[in-house]
Amino acid sequence: MTLTLLELLGSAGQVEDGAARVDVESSWCTAVRRLNPSMATPSEPPSKKGVAKKPHGVADTYFEDLMMRESGAWQMRCPNAEEDRVVAELKKKLGNLGDFSKEEFVAMTRPVLESAARADGNAEGAKASGRDDEAMEVADAEFSYLRVLRKVGPHIGRKLLASIVRCSLGLQFWGALKVLLELGLVTSASHPDLVQKLVEHRKADFLCLCFYHVLDLTPSDLMIGLKFLLEITPASGRSFEVVRQGWRRAACDAIDLAARRKENVRMSEYRLRDALGIVPAEGEGASGAAAASEREKRKYEKLVSRKNVAVAYAVAMAVAVDGFEGWETCLHALVASGQDEAVLAAIVAELDTSEAVQLLQYVRKWLDRYSGRLCSNPLPRGESMDSIYRVPSSQQVLQWVSMVLDGQYTKCVLSPKFLPELRAIQGSVQSVVAIGRKLTPLLGVVEHLRAMHALPARGQDSVANADYTIEYLDIS
């Protein structure tokens, strides 16, 4: 018997035996397939990654258990009895972590993940990895488990996902936690002690992942994280160095990519010359490409554009490593994460004098770089070749300078510890400010052109031009 949707929802809490439960689940799937797609999928996607948009009149837990995000949209999801059973077992195990091992955790959760992989159409990958695990060592088994978790993580239930995160924290299974963080599936609302536990374990690299991928960090989380990064101890120093080495590897990869793209441009230029029968002359540059066909010219220009972006990114990555200590490379993540400015300003105002001086030293280094090498090689806006290692923009750096000076104004005036840094900042921005003052008179012309108003012509009468002023720019 096929139940209507309202009858099914009313009888869902009264079903106890397994056979009836299976019938309810099949009836639920039948009812969902008959729904209007516009009723099953909201008209617009959620505003934040990993945060479900709650329709009016639907409970949070019920909605999140029955909805599944896939490819930017929301789809209906059938209840899973196996997930509920595993969640109940994991909850019991969490009460006594001394008798719970990482291998046992993997053995309990992997069948559910593989079942989700088969339901998602990845049955071949799940079976192949299962056959390989029979002859694998423990490390290889964990690697295979993490591969399956990365595939099906966005498609498992909210309760099971929360249980996996809690077990990963309790068992210190950092690989699983890293996968879920990178997928954006971990929220501070479900795990309010996440940042605190990461700080207790001195996991600075995971803290950086939280800044990037956990979108609902609370002010207390940000305060704990910032104070941890400004606290330099031998134990935390080793954790900071892990992050710095990661930045070094990313910078080397960016430099290699820029070198390959420069080589591609050079080879493309020679191919264009050979097609035109032009012998390359020393110092001639790319003049032969101008006579190529329109299609070949567009291809060449695209390669040049990609090369320029890669070179700018490589310079920015190298600058973000050279001269920065381990704890400062960790601050890159917080500055570039784009947290709420009002929350950050309130946090910065609560810092001690020594912590505020350290933070001012850090942003002063960025000001030196943006007034020097990064000024001649700016990174295009919105360009980032890595989702983990992001270089703070000049706007973000200036925002943090403003927050420190505003929040710590009294200490900046009274404490002698701030004076050397303030003088250094003044020297860093002096040349840029001098150019800005000379560019200021052009603001009128820029606004005039932005509004798409025609500039006055020479032949117009003097009455129409009476209020027009010629603006003069002199950069020497």
- pLDDT of the residue at 450: 79
Radius of gyration of the chain (CA): 29
Write phi, then psi, for 270 (nearest 5 degrees): -65, -35
Hey, how many other C-beta atoms are within 10 angstroms of the C-beta on 184?
18
Q: Is the Cβ–Cβ distance between 142 and 171 less than 8 Å? A: no
User: What pLDDT, in 10s, does the model give residues 379-432?
Assistant: 665 555 566 788 998 889 999 999 999 998 888 888 888 888 888 888 877 877
Instruction: Say yes or no to pLDDT of 96 above 90.
Output: no
Q: Is the Cβ–Cβ distance between 370 and 299 less than 8 Å? A: no
CA-wise closest residue to 211 among 197, 200, 201, 226: 226
Q: Which residues pair with 69 in a beta bridge?
A: 74
The C-alpha atoms of residue 11 and residue 350 are separated, in whole angstroms, by 54
Please list the alpha-helical segments (H only) found in 135-217. Answer: 138-152, 158-171, 174-182, 194-200, 204-213
Cα pseudo-dihedral 267, 268, 269, 270, rounded to 10: 50
The C-alpha atoms of residue 85 and residue 314 are separated, in whole angstroms, by 49
The C-alpha atoms of residue 411 and residue 406 are separated, in whole angstroms, by 10
Helix pair 174-182, 138-152: axis angle to 10 deg: 20
Instruction: Say yes or no to pLDDT of 28 above 80.
Output: no
230 — pLDDT class (breaks 50, 70, 90): very high
User: What pLDDT, in 10s, does the model give residues 362-393?
Assistant: 999 998 888 876 666 666 655 555 667 889 98
Q: What 8-state DSSP symbol labels residue 57?
A: T
The C-alpha atoms of residue 171 and residue 414 are separated, in whole angstroms, by 48
pTM: predicted TM-score of the whole model, two decimal places: 0.70
